[in-house]
């Protein structure tokens, strides 16, 4: 069995070692060059591959994967694959949790509790040596609304529920989950937003969800709402968010993802004390967990069984 590996963001050694442990019979070919500049021997290797493990592939890498049985995306979000501009030539399989759910739950719980217990404001006070007691918020005024109730959104919801926050979620198809007020589709978006105090975005980035965190939608939240975006930078209309932070409509935003990563040094978000920035680390791809999942799926495909996590090209996720 031959496997093609390509990622402009990772050193391949750890991936190769994990594959060698679980799939010793596989020969791994590494496409080492940057996007769009294939190494001279990379294309023939791709043409002989049975499977491809890719992250942020260029059009050239994708096109060369014609003939593989499946393309495994080394992440949950597949927007970068579609951004390459050529349709994936084989079934595209995304990571399905693989250790990311618990990280997402930790990240969102931390950001939520920081706002609820007003640590963000105490931190600003401490910077100028102010000792002021602030009125505690009430949980009943702190409804958490999750955009996206998929693999990761469900785990975020389970974590938040443990603290007793009122919980609601919005998805494409209607859900029925105990303890969560569920909304679905564009027709129910405004109703969802109007009762949400802390908006958490865990949506995939698609043509339908791009710019969803815009002035119109963020203005539907109650005044003084909070935003936690752990999905993609393309969900945020950045000038709108900046204006709404400055007006107080949004009391604070915790942002893990940006349109341009790394966030450029001159970006105005860096200067906003009410915007908290992390470098796309909310849920990191874990090599061992991801390879275990991929190898199990390769086994299932080889046995002619169905697998979870196949991306629906018409929906884009």
Residues binding ligand NAP (CB under 6 A): 76-77, 100, 148-153, 170-173, 202-206, 208-209, 230-232, 256-257, 280, 282-283, 317
Measured from the CB atom, the residue of 118 and 316 that comes closer to ligand NAP is: 316
Q: How far apart are CA 38 and CA 315, in angstroms?
A: 30
Cβ proximity to ligand GLV: between 29 and 97 the closer is 97
The CA distances from residue 201 to 71, 72, 85, 94, in Å, are 27, 24, 25, 19
Residue 160: count of CB within 10 angstroms of its CB = 23
104 vs 251, beta carbon nearer ligand GLV: 104
| Alpha carbon distance 112, 121 (integer Å) | 13
| Range 172-191, binding ligand GLV (CB under 6 A) | none
Say how far apart CA 167 and CA 140 lie, in whole Å: 10
User: Does the N-terminal peptide bond of residue 139 adopt cis geometry, omega within 30 degrees of 0?
Assistant: no
Site string for ligand GLV, 74-103 (x = CB under 6 A): -xxx--------------------------
- Minimum distance of ligand NAP from residue 313's CB (angstroms): 13
> And the tokens for 194?
């109007």
- Taking alpha carbons only, the member of 118, 76, 111 closest to residue 93 is 76
Q: Which of ligand NAP, ligand GLV, none is residue 149 near (CB under 5 to 8 Å by kind)?
A: ligand NAP
DSSP classification of residue 109? H
Nearer to ligand GLV, 7 or 285 (CB): 285
Nearest to 238 by CA among 264, 216, 258: 258
Given ligand NAP, ligand GLV, none, residue 227, with its beta carbon under 5 to 8 Å by kind, binds none
CB of 215 to ligand NAP, least distance (A): 19
The answer to whether 254 and 278 are in contact (CB under 8 A) is yes
**Cα(278)–Cα(233) distance, integer angstroms:** 12
From the list ligand GLV, ligand NAP, none, partner contacted by residue 3 (C-beta under 5 to 8 A by kind): none
Binding to ligand GLV by residue 153, rule CB under 6 A? no
Residues tagged active-site: 232, 280
- Binding pattern for the stretch 280-309 against ligand GLV, x by CB under 6 A and - elsewhere: -----x------------------------
Nearer to ligand GLV by C-beta: 35 or 50? 35
Q: Which stretch binds ligand GLV (CB under 6 A): 17-25, 73-81, 121-129, 208-216?
A: 73-81
Name the DSSP letter for residue 316: T
Q: Write the DSSP symbol of residue 139.
A: G
Q: Binding residues for ligand GLV, per CB under 6 A?
A: 75-77, 285
């Amino acid at each position: 069995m031959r496997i093609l590996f390509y990622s402009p963001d990772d050193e391949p050694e750890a991936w190769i070692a994990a594959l060698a442990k679980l799939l010793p019979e596989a020969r791994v070919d590494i496409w080492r060059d940057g996007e769009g500049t294939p190494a001279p021997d990379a294309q023939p290797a791709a043409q002989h591959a049975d499977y491809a493990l890719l992250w942020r592939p260029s059009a050239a890498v994708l096109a060369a994967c014609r003939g593989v049985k499946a393309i495994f995306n080394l992440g949950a979000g597949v927007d970068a694959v579609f951004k390459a501009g050529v349709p994936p030539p084989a079934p595209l399989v995304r990571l399905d949790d693989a250790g990311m759910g618990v990280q997402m739950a930790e990240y969102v719980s931390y950001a939520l509790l920081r706002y609820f217990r007003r640590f963000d404001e105490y931190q600003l006070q401490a910077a100028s040596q102010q000792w002021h007691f602030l009125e505690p918020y009430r949980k009943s005024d702190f409804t958490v609304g999750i955009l996206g109730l998929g693999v990761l959104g469900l785990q975020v919801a389970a974590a938040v529920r443990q603290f007793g926050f009122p919980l609601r979620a919005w998805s494409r198809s209607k859900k029925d989950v105990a303890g969560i007020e569920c909304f679905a589709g564009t027709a129910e978006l405004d109703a969802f937003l109007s009762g949400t105090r802390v908006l958490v975005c865990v949506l995939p980035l698609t043509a339908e969800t791009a710019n969803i965190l815009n002035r119109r939608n963020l203005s539907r939240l109650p005044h003084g709402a909070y935003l936690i975006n752990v999905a993609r930078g393309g969900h945020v209309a950045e000038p709108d968010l900046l204006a709404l932070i400055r007006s107080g409509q949004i009391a604070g935003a915790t942002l893990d993802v940006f349109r341009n990563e790394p966030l450029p040094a001159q970006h105005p978000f860096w200067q906003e004390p009410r915007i908290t920035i992390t470098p796309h680390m909310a849920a990191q791809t874990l090599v061992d967990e991801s390879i275990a999942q991929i190898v199990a799926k390769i086994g299932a495909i080889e046995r002619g069984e169905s697998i979870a996590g196949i991306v629906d090209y018409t929906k884009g996720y």
